[in-house]
Structure 1
Amino acid sequence: MTPELNRETSLKMKRSWCISMRIALEVKNKWSIVDDTMIAPARSHPQYAAWRRCNLLVCSWIFKSVNSSIAQSIIHLDQATDVWEDLKRRFSHHDAQKISSLQSEIYGLKQGTMSVNDYYTRCRTLWEEMNSTRPFPVCRCDPKCSCDLIDQIRKERDTDQVIRFLHGLNDDYSNLKSNVLVLDPLPEANAVQHSQNIPDEVVAAFHSYNGKRSGNSNKGAKCTYCGMNGHTIDKCYKKHGFPPGWISGFKSKGKQGAVMSNNAVENSGNSGNASTVDQLQKLISLLQAQAGQSSGTNATAAVSLVPSFNSENSETEGKYSATYINSTFLCESTWILDSGATDHIVCSLDYFDNYRVVRGAEVNLPTGNSVVVNHVGNVSLNKELCLKDALHIPSFKFNIISVSKLLQDTCNKLIFLSNQCLIQDMLGTRTGIAKQRNGLYLLLEPPRRQDVMHSFAVHCNNSEVWHQRLGHFPINKMHLLSDIKFSAAKTLACDVCHLAKHKRSPFPLSTTSSKNCFDLIHADIWGPFQICSLQGDRYFLSLVDDHSRYTWLHLMRNKSETRQFIKKFHAMVFTQFGTLIKTFRTDNGPEFSMTEFFT
């Protein structure tokens, strides 16, 4: 936060820090924690942890924006509300001396050499500083009263600001000040400031126009510089210089003005009078705009509004001269949602998925004319939206989507908002969106042309892709397909094809487990091998203990040797471990048929 708050900071900078900090907290949606609008929940409340985290975050921001010495004095405070109240009691001084100083500066402020904008900015700064030092009272009635006393106080303070602003303007704006002060009610200060922001030549023309009507307004005034009567020091020619065309020796202002006006006429003909009239018309238009921006009441200014007519523009005067009502650029890729259209209209055949030729079909336009329909077909906007029986009219420069026909042909709903239109299906899923631009709802994602879509087609010779596209066509038959070249199709291994050829489903996973060794023995035979061992063995018998996962392998030449090895294994277990095998689990093959032995 800049500037940093410390003890040496001026009152104005402290107030700026307070405003800046409040804006920053409101932007982060955290001001409700500081002004105690969001009450701290109980510790047992489920939202207490989230509130606690936001509270500490605000405290850390405040500690970062103040001086380290001030931060040390408030770091022990646990809640952001207590931190803010402590800083407010410490640095928020509303003493009478400061109020007296501000009032003196406000009442003594003059425009002087400043421009009107700079003068208004300075006045506005002092007014806001006074409002923060002496804020508006707050109604403490319980229940709150319905009177408008606070609004009346605020209105009177605004009126005082307008009067002080006009009082500080230079004497060049004396006539304009008198015109504003007769308005009832008075306009706001910023409106008065805009009315003062006019060219100097317009002000001079207004003064000369009023001078012809009311005579010399400075009659009786005495200049403190030259000692002559009839003007003040602000308009003393001996101090500020004589105007162009001044002839010395004439003491009468009327004669001097007549000679100057005659010289102006001789030099430029009637251009001076026309310039004065133009300047006066500019001033009148500014005052008319000011009267229209004020309060909308029957306020009248002390200025006579003189209309002007130009014979050259008499034929077009008072007529609307705009050439285009809608400035939106419309082209073939523009799709407009229209609630007044009865059918969809497409300007190009490239958007159609399919179409047919029609004869004698016409569409009536609002102008009374009619256009011929050449084709009728379907257009896909996207995967979810399809325009049925759309009309093809080549003379149109853009495309129209009929709202009524779209709702009739599809199970969609349209939600019109101020800046967009949402197209949703019956489940609420968004299928399209249109943005409002210059009064038209334009589809954001228009369909692409069919020829553009065809350009994205890619030739593929991958045997695996075509095997899957054709529904897992037999791999050994794929070479019979014409116009498709394959590479290494014979070596393709498809897991889906292997699983689809299984005669039975896989066994479910077993959830049982034995507690001791040799409670359960799994037995299975694998073979025959294509290549036999050195001893001529082509099979092997695997015996797996379910508890320890210990495995025994026995090589065999034939499956008939299985019974012999099982009996030897049973005797070995009894001899070596002193226990008996409780359960043998096999796949019920005939080689394991040993009913007498197992019983």
Structure 2
Amino acid sequence: MENQSSTNGSRFDPLTAANSQNDAQLNPYFIHHSLGPTAAIVTQPLTGAINYTSWSRAMLMAISGRNKAGFITGKIQKPSDGVLLDAWICNNDILASWILNSVSKEIAASIIYIGSIKEIWDELRQRFKQSNGPSIYQLRKEFVTLRQGNLTIETYYTKLKTIWQNLNEYRFTNDCTCGGLKPFIDHLESEYIMAFLMGLNDSYAAVRAQILLMQPLPSINTVFSLLIQEEQQRSAGILTPPIDPVALNIASSMAISTDRNRKKERPTCSYCGIKGHIADKCYKKHGYPPGYKPRNSNSITTAPDTSKTNNVANTNSAAANRSPDFFSSLNSEQYSQLMTLLNNHLQAATTAPITTATAITHTSGIFALTSHNNQSHDEWIIDSGASRHICHDKSLFKNWSHTNNMFVMLPNGHRISVDLIGDIQINGSLTLKDVLFVSQFAYNLISVSCLLITKNISLDFQSTCCIIQDLSRPMMIGKASCQNGLYVLNKEANTNCIAAGVKINAISVDTWHQRLGHLSPKCLSSLSSTLCLSNHSIHHSSCHVCPLAKQKRLSFHSNNNVASSPFDLVHADIWGPFKIPSYGGYKYFLTLVDDCLRFTWVYMLRQKSDVLHIVPKFFQLIETQFSKVIKSFRSDNAPELKLTEFFAQKGTVHQFSCVEQPQQNSVVERKHQHLLNVARALFFSQEFQSVFGQIAS
């Protein structure tokens, strides 16, 4: 008796295959002596729906590798009798034992009495594969939130790949050979790559950016290989990973604290014998650097000079004050340079007046101002080098108080005493606090640092001007123009504008209208002073978006064409009911309008059904008085106007407007509105009572 088809679909004789030693492995009934009932063919047992997908995949691979997948898939059916029946029962029991050994005790107790291995397999699949939704949600959540952290690239990639493979088990698969699924597969691959790259640490940001710029994106294995190489190069010290600023700050702080606690031996100079430096860096041997200040003196200040001669002279002068052996170390050339510098400095100090020289030394730009005779000394100059506000005019002080032992140190080393200190109001919005009164100064100085510290303002320096802005309210409180390299405060500057907007006048009304969400002209007028807009420009601006955005329904384009002859088309409509019936008991009226002449007939109705008598009488009137036949009759879908038999008898075409589209019957609708407006006007002007509504309407 022949067996059913094997796992590969070929038909064979099991007994004949079993007799051949070479073909024994191909026989699904063949059982190796090492594969007993107690063998555990998978490492992870089945515990429930959580790991059923991975367990079933591993179990199917293990059974298929032993050429016995046909027993659980149903390809090898149970024979009816004969030798094959015994072999089938033996294989069925062994496979059942393998599954029982690969599941938990609770699950094994529930399937031990099931007969065939196929029924056991189907039972487990139906039991644990029903909750795919929560499993897919959990896997996708882990896939999206997984980050590298302290893991290596290999460990992080392994975890991500495990989750991805579990997700693939839940996806719909189809054996397609036409290539239609390739775009979908490429999309899944790109999603896989993006998740892998986005989960990397920030130290791999440069490599990640380079990979994302590749077109097309490489495969996931190529990306993994590139990152592994990057990690190995960093481990070997070939590449230096980016340093975290926080970690760098902590490391530097720890290094500083460690260096402070460590006692360092100080070297001794072999030239001068002083500790703290060596002979290669000895100032006495090689000369003092420009601007050098001795540690034991606070009053010596060397004037900055770019020339080499002055630098040498200044440093030697400072050294002469601190060392009695200074002159013995000078050569003849250095000594002559020092004497020349001292003579020039002494002559300049005795001949130059303090009023001009001291003021000029505050800023080099003031030299340019002295050459212009039209420059007023009452101007305020914004100076970034001054540490305090300084004024030379006592009359500008709003309030003041006397002070003692306060001096102003000039860059040339001179000190000038300060007599008063007080407040000065520049304009209505800018007030200077703690201004020093120095009568020897020729100009008034505004200290940038003092202004920023004492007031909540900001300064915007530009090539042509400097804007002083109040940060508490966005207003410009001062403006300085650039004159000959100096920023001179303009007292007449308009301070009633928004600070951002020295350029605000260039902004049109339409731009502000759109920025503020299409604000109405009335609201824009209330903001005209703030936005520097004129009311004339506000009321004469037009916006085509506002009518479209604020209308309650779309506009209807009428396609009505006026008839060429009278009574070719007649429009009809019924209006009512009135809230209060007329004196004659009428609650409705019928309006008939000729499309060509716009001549109108109005008939009063007590009930809507009266139209059944009015319309035939109207047709008879037209035929008798005008010898005309009404060709078309247009109305809405009112049931009382559907005179089908009458219109068929007269040969008149009855035209209906669409449902809820009164615009299509606009001729008579507008006539209704006109009649009602005229009636109300007459009613209100004559003060008729409501019972005469028939006459008024």
TM-score using structure 2 length: 0.27
Per residue, is there more helix in 1 or in 2? 2
